[in-house]
Amino acid sequence: MNIRTRVLWATTALVSGLVVAGAASAQSSGTDAAEGVVIDEVVVTGQRGPRSISGATVAQTVEKTRSTITQEYISRQQPGQSIIATLNNVPGLNVTNNDPFGNSGSNIRLRGFDGNRVSLTFDGIPLNDTGNYAVFSNQQLDSELVERASVNQGSTDSDSPTASANGGTIAYTTARPLRERSAQIVSSIGSFNYGRVFGRFDTGEFGPWGTTAYLTASYTDYDKFKGPGSLEKKQYNGRLFQDLGDGDFASLAFNWNENRNNFYNNFNTLPTFNAGLSPENDIACFRPTPGAGTVQNEATGSTIITYFGGIASGSCTNDHRTRINPSNTGNIRGQFRYSLRDNLILTVDPSFQYVMANGGGYTLVSERDDRLDQNGTNNATVTTAAQCTAAAILNTGFDLNGDGDSCDNVGLYTPSNTNTRRYGVISSLLWDINDDHRVRVSYANDYGRHRQTGEATRYNADGSVPEVFAGENTWGNADLRVAGRDGYYFRSRDRFSIALLNQISAEYRGQFLDDSLTLRLGVRAPFFTRELNQFCFSQNGSSNVRCTTEAVASTLANGNVTFASTGTTQFIRPYSQEIKYDDILPDVGLSYRFFDNHSVYANYAEGISVPRTDNLYQPVRNAAGGLDFTTVQPETTTSIDLGYRYTSSNLIASAAFWWVDYDNRIVSSFDNDPTSPTFNLSVDRNLGAVEQNGFDGSVEWLVTDNISLYAAASYNDSEVQSNVPLSATTFLPTAGKRIVETPEWTFNLRGQWAITDNWTVGLQGKYVDERFTTDVNDETVPSYTVVDFDSRYDLTDTFGIRNAFVQFNVTNLFDEEYPASISSGNNATTIDVDPGAGVVLRTGQLRTFSLGAPRTMILTLGTTF
């Protein structure tokens, strides 16, 4: 089958007015309806030619910069790969994967904005974490089920329920069930013992109304490409779909995903990278044998089997069995569209999401810790057997390792668990005033209950963990928890948050000049509420906490307290607090189509990102005795896009020039000013204004009936407008610097050749420019180019089995070595932070990063019965 015969041709203004619009992967059913996406197909008004050639890009008519890929392109990429990594060919977006198959997560930069500032939606429901707005790319839908995926560069849709979309949106849509009964099997093997199987069963139409449904399951398992450990993923999906006619439908779907991953040790620095070194986690760790009357210190007395096979003494903190990232995530999604009248449409998208996840954790705990025995006296470190057998010692402390004394330092498994239950709904009412004018009003509610605990548990005798979620997941087995003398469970944190968003929005869309001119006027009004409930004592001005029932040693005049075991360190008692934010955000778009194939557009949008809930748990006691939770203001953006598009029978091209004014950008910086109340603490601050501008462009060309070429390029220029204040007299010299982790240039190129009707090959590459690792731009990681290859052969004619195929993928074909995801910071070298004639030195820290995955090969067989 050649490329041309796979093209989905558009009509030439067969349907007028607002009923049709550009291909989309919208935030919700309401936005799909507003943009004219109908149930069975999408057509492009007044354009001659394909909406897609090979699925690498789609012709757009929306009044904003948007890039879309389809299943045609997704299916050629590595099976099971995260859809976010698959979008890496989109202009303006740079994704660095932490392993070759995507199960270790990714780092996102969209026009210089990190993933926490980019809204991610799945069939319209928001997926960013409710606490820190993080995007977890390894928990996304199986690639076979993604119908299309889009990136809005720089703006969101008017009904988007998000607390953080300054950088734009990533959205993808689930495939609908098939109308014929069928079963699909896709199986892959590859490098690093990679194995994956995906199965799907479609019921076909059943019942009196022609209802359709499918159920799917997948399993993935493979070894890390460096260091000990493996990554395992299980996923289950289902969807029930009812066509109600005339574009109306009702749908109910679910997703359940389990990840059991070992972390990579991403402690690479530029010196280690340049030396060809790659530190990794330990293969195993053996703790000292407990013995009554003797001192065991697991921080120094454990025997380590290192990644390189050597034997060392030290702590078990880097045992790969501790460095894990387990997660259970799931959601239930409803979608409903119904035409109340010929010109009045109602859409309702309810949802529920569940999360249980952590990133592992190890804590060395003294058996004389007052959080266990509440003794308050005789907490001196025990180092000798004579001290250990003294009566004063035997009568105090808490025996953690069961050897009959309380003299030891014992390692506990202490992951910080996050358990989220999230309820949401997006509803829209669309009124067609006439064929050329439409009004939409929407309401969105996003209610997230965010429970964060760190209940410790002991390790098994062999060094493994008895439960990946530690003491949080007891299910009647209370012995997993470590309880002190008064029954209080030892924990590293204990808090409960509610992240609530209520949002109303309105949008007008009109067409003029025989449908050549389209005007969109939108506005959204989000109202954010953050409820904080801290059940532990908080170190003043820090996120550090002390969860304890020990007696307070003293209460200071300002209301803070101290403990005998922690000296003069001040703590704030447990508290509750409510913080609110709101804003009015306009979004205006204009497009003009001329000469059938040409169009231009302009878009103006304002965005907001409110401070992350996790970062609000850093109260500071003020001079009046009250608590200041944050002086950080919400980040806001004003973005402008000016674009041009051309679509013909063999060419889809787009180009956009953009500008972003970014106010109150939030950064975290370590305060080393001894006169500051937040000395030696990491504090959020507003960076001030940042000006960004750039260019995003892409073109796909059907060179012949059998060959297509796709190319994309992006340019990003940014400038921080002021220095970051560290104290009254010192400043981080950020003025004139560029945004971290953001390449100035990226280039994408893909060629696809249908050698025969059954055999297609593709070759694609991406160049990523140098990136700064620090806010002061004093360290840079080198540029890199990664090339991928894919080959797919249709076996239907060979074996007579419908949709049977064999596919071969190679990622990083030329085995490029490069720094991938960066752990950025303020400064890597020692710098002067006094803007005057004096010198105040601020010590830097070399930044760390992950390594890009080496050459990886995957062989896939698939068929449909």
Amino acid at position 613, single letter = T
Query: How far is it, in rounded angstroms, from Cα 834 to Cα 156?
Result: 40
Please, are residues 313 and 287 in contact by the beta-carbon 8 Å criterion?
Answer: no
Query: Which residues make Cβ contacts (< 8 Å) with residue 477, sequence separation at least 6?
Result: none
Report which of residues 862 and 675 the model is more confident about: 862
Lowest-confidence region among 9-13, 61-65, 76-80, 599-603: 9-13
Q: For the whole model, what pTM was predicted?
A: 0.91
Only one residue has tokens 């010198």, namely 839
Query: Which residues make Cβ contacts (< 8 Å) with residue 413, sequence separation at least 6?
Result: 322, 360, 361, 362, 456, 457, 458, 459, 465, 470
Query: Which pLDDT belongs to residue 34?
Result: 66
How does 822-856 read in b/e, with b if 16+ C-beta sit within 10 Å? bebbbbbeebebeeeeeebebebebbbbbbbbeeb
Confidence grade of residue 556 (pLDDT, cut at 50, 70, 90): very high
Kindly report the length of the chain: 865
Tell me the average pLDDT across 543-571. Answer: 90
DSSP 142-191: PGGGEEEEEEEES---TT---SB-TTEEEEEEEPPPPSS-EEEEEEEEET
Confidence grade of residue 163 (pLDDT, cut at 50, 70, 90): confident
Query: How far is it, in rounded angstroms, from Cα 26 to Cα 41?
Result: 15
Query: Which pLDDT belongs to residue 395?
Result: 65
Q: Which long-range contacts (CB under 8 A, 24 or more apart) does 559-565 make?
A: 559/621, 559/625, 560/621, 561/537, 563/370, 564/370, 564/376, 564/377, 564/379, 565/369, 565/370, 565/376, 565/379
Lowest-confidence region among 156-170, 277-291, 307-321, 721-735: 156-170
Is residue 25 predicted with pLDDT exceeding 50? no
| Most confidently modeled range among 129-143, 777-791, 793-807 | 777-791
User: 301 in a domain, yes or no?
Assistant: no
Amino acid at position 302, single letter = S
Q: Which two tokens stand for residue 139?
A: 């928990």
Tell me the average pLDDT across 273-293. Answer: 90
User: 633 in a domain, yes or no?
Assistant: yes
Where helices occur in 509-565 by DSSP H, the ranges are none
Query: How far is it, in rounded angstroms, from Cα 263 to Cα 246?
Result: 49
> pLDDT over 90 for what percent of the chain?
64
> pLDDT over 70 for what percent of the chain?
90
Is residue 35 predicted with pLDDT exceeding 70? no
User: 50 in a domain, yes or no?
Assistant: yes
Report which of residues 835 and 42 the model is more confident about: 835
User: What secondary structure letter does DSSP report for 71?
Assistant: H
Beta strands, E only, 13-80: 66-70
How far does the chain reach from its first CA to its final CA, in angstroms? 20
User: 398 in a domain, yes or no?
Assistant: no
Query: Which pLDDT belongs to residue 566?
Result: 86
Which range of residues forms the domain containing residue 594? 4-281+320-367+411-535+574-864
User: What secondary structure letter does DSSP report for 741?
Assistant: T
Lowest-confidence region among 105-114, 561-570, 630-639: 630-639
**Count of the separate structural domains present in the chain:** 1
Is residue 85 predicted with pLDDT exceeding 90? yes
Is residue 188 predicted with pLDDT exceeding 80? yes
- Residue 792's CB is within 10 A of a number of other CB atoms, namely 20
Query: Which pLDDT belongs to residue 687?
Result: 63
Lowest-confidence region among 189-193, 652-656, 826-830: 826-830
Query: How far is it, in rounded angstroms, from Cα 45 to Cα 47?
Result: 6
CATH code of residue 183: 2.40.170.20
Query: How far is it, in rounded angstroms, from Cα 132 to Cα 609?
Result: 11
DSSP 88-127: GGSTTEEEEESSTTSTT-EEEEETTEEGGGSEEEETTEE-
Is residue 468 predicted with pLDDT exceeding 80? yes
Please, are residues 710 and 56 in contact by the beta-carbon 8 Å criterion?
Answer: yes
Query: How far is it, in rounded angstroms, from Cα 332 to Cα 440?
Result: 26
Lowest-confidence region among 30-34, 105-109, 734-738, 749-753: 30-34
Please, are residues 108 and 118 in contact by the beta-carbon 8 Å criterion?
Answer: yes
Query: Which pLDDT belongs to residue 792?
Result: 96
User: 12 in a domain, yes or no?
Assistant: yes
User: 400 in a domain, yes or no?
Assistant: no
Query: Which pLDDT belongs to residue 390?
Result: 72
DSSP 677-708: TTTTEEEEEE---EEEEEEEEEEEEE-SSSEE
User: 394 in a domain, yes or no?
Assistant: no
Tell me the average pLDDT across 729-737. Answer: 91
Lowest-confidence region among 357-371, 472-486, 539-553: 472-486
Query: Which pLDDT belongs to residue 391?
Result: 61
Is residue 17 predicted with pLDDT exceeding 70? no
- β-strand pairing of 856-864 with 805-811: antiparallel
Confidence grade of residue 751 (pLDDT, cut at 50, 70, 90): very high
How many alpha carbons fall within 13 Å on the CB side of residue 191? Answer: 18
Is residue 507 predicted with pLDDT exceeding 60? yes
Query: How far is it, in rounded angstroms, from Cα 826 to Cα 842?
Result: 10
pLDDT digits (tens, 9 = 90+) for 580-595: 999 999 999 999 999 9
User: 363 in a domain, yes or no?
Assistant: yes
| Most confidently modeled range among 9-18, 30-39, 364-373 | 364-373
Report which of residues 327 and 798 the model is more confident about: 327
Report which of residues 127 and 30 the model is more confident about: 127
Lowest-confidence region among 153-162, 303-312, 644-653, 769-778: 153-162
pLDDT digits (tens, 9 = 90+) for 284-314: 999 999 988 888 999 999 999 998 889 999 9
Amino acid at position 39, single letter = I
Tell me the average pLDDT across 819-831. Answer: 91
Confidence grade of residue 22 (pLDDT, cut at 50, 70, 90): very low
Q: Which long-range contacts (CB under 8 A, 24 or more apart) does 746-749 make?
A: 746/91, 746/94, 746/712, 746/713, 746/714, 747/711, 747/712, 747/713, 748/88, 748/89, 748/91, 748/698, 748/710, 748/711, 748/712, 748/713, 749/709, 749/710, 749/711, 749/712
| Most confidently modeled range among 13-22, 41-50, 240-249, 286-295 | 240-249
C-alpha of 249 from chain center: 30
Query: Which pLDDT belongs to residue 279?
Result: 87
Number of H helices, E strands in the chain: 9, 53
Confidence grade of residue 681 (pLDDT, cut at 50, 70, 90): very low
How many alpha carbons fall within 13 Å on the CB side of residue 432? Answer: 21
Query: Which pLDDT belongs to residue 33?
Result: 65
